[in-house]
Amino acid sequence: MPNRTVIPFGPHHPVLPEPIHLDLVLEDEKVVEAIPNVGFIHRGLELLCEKKPFQDMVLVAERICGICSLVHGIGFVNGVEKIMNIQVPERAEMLRVFWSELSRVHSHLLWLGLAADGIGFESLFMHSWRVRELVLDIFEETTGGRVIFDAIKVGGVKKNINKETLDRILKQLEKVEEEYRQIADVFVNDFTIAHRWSGVGLLTKEQAITLGAVGPTARASGLAMDTRMIKYGGYDKITMEPIVETAGDCYARALVRVREVYQSFDQIRQAISKMPEGGETEAKVTGFPTGEYFSRVEQPRGEVIYYVKGNGTKYLERFRVRTPTFANIPPLVQMLAGCDLADVPAIVLAIDPCISCTER
Amino acid sequence: MFESQEYITIKKEELLEKTAPLFKSGHRLVQICCTKLPDKLIMDYSFDKDYKFIDYRIELPLEGASLPSITGIYFAAFTYENEIHDLFGINVIGNALDFGGKFYRINETAPFNKVVKKEVKNA
C-alpha cells in the first residue's frame, strides 16, 4: 500500500478569495479523499431574526453575500410575502427579475475572471472584470450600490427606474454584450482553457442528483434543474429553458456559465419589455407574518433556500438559509476523490464557492 | 407565483424507511433544517424531483434529542447533520462523516444555541 500524506488546502490559498479548508489525503500525487472544513467566518446571522423585526431582516439577507446580495433579499422577501399573502405589484416583480439577472451577469463575469486567473490567464481575468465594471455601473445608477444593495423590501422594491433610464440601459446592454462576446469566445474556443479543464473534476448526472448538486455545477452534469423554472416572482412571465452541458467536468461548468450570461441578457430584455409602465412598486404591508414557507430562488451559484417561520409577532421564529455552496460541498468532495493534486484549485474554483454565503 | 409545498409529519423511527424510496426514485435531498420552538424541536427533511417539493417533518423533544443519520442513503446529508448537531445539540447517530462537534471551526463549543446548550447541560 502506498504511503499516504495529508496536505492542508486552505483556508488561505491563492485561488481562494474566501476561507475554506480541505484536508487532502494523497497517495503520491493522487487525491484519495478530501475532507472539508468550514466555519472560519461563521457569523450566526440566522439567529438575528430573534432581535430584528422581519422588515429589517431584508437588510441582513442582502448582506449574507457580497456577490448576489439582491437575490438573497428576494429569496427572503419571497418567503415572507407568501406567508403574509402579499401580492407584489407586477412592476416590482419585473424590477426584481431585472436586478436578479444583472446579478447573475456580474457574478458569472466575476467567476470567469477568477477562473482565468486560476489558470494563469491574467489578461482574460482583467478583461472579464473590466466588462463586469460596466454591469456594476448599471447597478450603481439604478440602486445606488455597486455590490451591496438596499433595493428590496417586503411587498416590493425600494427603487424605481424611469423609462428613459431603462431605454438607455438597453443600449448600454448592447455594448456590454458586444464586449462580453469577445471574452466568451475565448472561453469557448481557446485550446489552452479547454485542455486545462476538460476531463477534470468529473461529476456524473447520477452523482449530481444523489449528492444534491445545484446550479451550474448540476447543470454541467446534464441535470436540467433551474429553480427559475418553478416560476417564482416575476419569472412566470419570463421564457427560459435551463442551460445544460453533459460532460460533467470543469470545462462544462465554465461553458454553462458562459451561456447563462447570454440567457440573462435575454431575460433582462424580457423583463424590461414586460414591465408595465407606471403603477405601484410596492404593496401595503400590514400585520405580522404567521405561517411558514421554504422560499426557493435561483442564485448565480444555484438554488438558495430561505425558510421563514412567523408566529404573529414582528420577530420571525425561524430564519434559515441553505446556500448553493453549502449544497455543493458533497459534490465537491466527490469530484476531488481521484484527481491530481495540481487539479485541486481548478476543481474547487469550478463550483464557484461562496464561503461568505455558506458561513452566513 | 408561489410553488405549493407538501409537509408530511412522520415519526423519527420512520425516517429511514421514508427516505430510502425517495432516493431510489431519483429525488434530490434539498435541505435539512431544525427549528427550535418553546416546547420542542422540529426537523424538516426536504426533497425535490421535477420541481415538486416534499418535506418530511419530525418533532423532537428539547432535551436529549437524537436522530438516525440518513447519510447511508444520502451521503450529502453529512453537512446538514453535522450543522444540526453543532447548532442545536441533536445527537445524530451513524453520520458517515462525523466532525464530532467541530464542523464549524470556531472557538465556541457546540451546541451554539445557548438555550439548548443550557438545557442539555442540565439534562
Are A83 and A289 in contact by the 8 Å Cβ rule? The answer is: yes
State which residue of chain B sits closest to A302, comparing Cα positions: B30
**CATH assignment, A45-327:** 1.10.645.10
pLDDT of residue A12: 85
User: A interface mutation test: which of B22, B24, B30, B117 has the most A CBs within 10 A?
Assistant: B30
Q: Domain limits of chain B?
A: 5-122
Contact B35 A232 (CB under 8 A): no
DSSP-derived secondary structure letter, A52: S
pLDDT of residue A279: 81
- Is CATH 3.30.460.80 correct for B5-122? yes
- Locus of grid cell 474554483: A349
pLDDT of residue A360: 77
Cα–Cα separations (whole angstroms), residue B17 to A191, B57, B84: 50, 14, 21
Q: What is the C-alpha separation between A269 and A272, in angstroms, rounded?
A: 5
pTM of the model: 0.92
pLDDT of residue A141: 93
The answer, for B24 touching chain A at a CB cutoff of 8 Å, is no
pLDDT of residue A228: 94
Contact B75 A82 (CB under 8 A): no
- Give the up-direction half-sphere exposure of residue A318: CA atoms within 13 A in the CB hemisphere: 22
* Ranges of chain B whose pLDDT falls below 50: 123
Residue from the list A47, A212, A322 with its beta carbon closest to the beta carbon of B28: A212
Cite the beta strand spans of A47-198 per DSSP E.
152-153, 156-157
Would you list which residues of chain A are within 8 Å, Cβ to Cβ, of chain B? 21, 35, 37-40, 42, 44, 47, 78, 82, 209-212, 225, 227, 229-233, 235-236, 293-294, 296, 303, 305, 307, 309, 317-318, 320, 322, 326-327, 329-331
Cα–Cα separations (whole angstroms), residue A145 to A180, A360, B122: 22, 21, 48
* Ranges of chain A whose pLDDT falls below 70: 1
User: A interface mutation test: which of B9, B33, B98 has the most A CBs within 10 A?
Assistant: B33
pLDDT of residue B77: 95
Strand partners, A318: A309
Strand partners, A305: A296, A322
pLDDT of residue A69: 85
- As for the ipTM of the complex, it is 0.90
pLDDT of residue A106: 94
pLDDT of residue A79: 93
pLDDT of residue B118: 52
